[in-house]
Amino acid sequence: MGDRLKDKVAIITGAAKGIGFATAQRFAEEGAKVIITDISQEAVNSAAEKTPNAEGYAMNVTVRASVQSVVDQVMQKHGRIDILINNAGITQDARLIKMTEAQFDTVIDVNLKGVFNCTQIVVPHMLEAGSGAVVNASSVVGLYGNFGQTNYSATKFGVIGFTKTWARELGAKGIRVNAVCPGFIATEMVMAMPENIVQDIEKRSWLGRLGTPAEMANVYLFLASNEASYVNGVALEASGGISL
Spans of all domains in the chain: 9-235
How far is the C-alpha of 33 from the C-alpha of 48, rounded, in Å? 11
Classify domain 9-235 by CATH architecture.
3-Layer(aba) Sandwich (3.40)
Q: Which helix (H) or strand (E) holds 87?
A: none
Which position among 57, 144, 152, 230 bears the catalytic label? 152
* Sheet with strand 9-12: strands edge to edge: 54-58, 33-38, 9-12, 83-86, 132-137, 175-182, 235-238
Specify the amino acid at residue 126.
M
Helix axis angle for 213-224 and 18-29, nearest 10°, is 50
Residue 226's pLDDT is 97
Which of 80, 56, 75, 82 minimizes the C-alpha distance to 4?
Answer: 82
What per-residue confidence (pLDDT) applies to 191?
82
pTM: 0.97
152 is known as an active-site residue: yes
Phi-psi label, residue 154: left if phi above 0, alpha if psi -120 to 50, beta otherwise: alpha
Looking at residue 36, its pLDDT comes to 98
Return the amino acid letter for 170.
Answer: L
pLDDT of residue 159: 98
DSSP structural state of residue 234: -
* pLDDT at site 64: 98
Q: From first to last of the 244 residues of the chain, give the pLDDT tens digit.
A: 799 999 999 999 999 999 999 999 999 999 999 999 999 999 999 999 999 999 999 999 999 999 999 999 999 999 999 999 999 999 999 999 999 999 999 999 999 999 999 999 999 999 999 999 999 999 999 999 999 999 999 999 999 999 999 999 999 999 999 999 999 999 887 888 888 888 888 888 899 999 999 999 999 999 999 999 999 999 999 999 998 8
pLDDT at 18: 96
